[in-house]
Amino acid sequence: MPLVEVTCAPGAAESTLRELGSVLPHLVSKTVECPEEPYDGALQPGDVEIRFRRLGPLDRRGVDVVIEVRSKWFESRSANRQERVERLHQDVRTATGLRDFGVYLSLPAAAWSQGG
């Protein structure tokens, strides 16, 4: 399950951020799909968690929006991570029209449990 944090400048348009929030689950799932965690196109609750955060007065920035994706490390994901992050950047640009943004893909050793 990918965790996605979107950090945005105070002036980032809410409509653009809403559009970003609607397309990111699918785009991120495509980005991190691998044999160990295939993506069938049918997202379920908890498959992708997205958090939005506006920059505060003491934060420093270089771009208007930063999309940070964290997903469990698998060798198959890691082998072409730069291609994956570049494809996600292009897909976000195409889907939303965003221009001044960056994407960071992190693949840590991790575990996840979900349920009641």
Q: Parse the chain into domains and list their residue ranges.
A: 3-106
Q: Selecting from 3.30.429.10, 3.90.1150.10, 3.90.400.10, 3.40.50.2000, what CATH number does the domain 3-106 have?
A: 3.30.429.10
Amino acid 113: pLDDT: 78
Give the C-alpha separation, 1 to 3, whole Å. 7
Identify the pLDDT of residue 4. Answer: 98
Q: Over the stretch 59-76, which tens digit does the pLDDT of each residue have?
A: 888 899 999 999 999 999
pLDDT at residue 110, as a whole number: 81
Taking 50 as the pLDDT cut, the residues of the chain under it are none
Looking at residue 87, its pLDDT comes to 97
- Which string of b and e fits 36-73 if b means at least 16 CB within 10 Å? ebeeeeeeeeeebebebeebeeeeeeeebbbbebbbbe
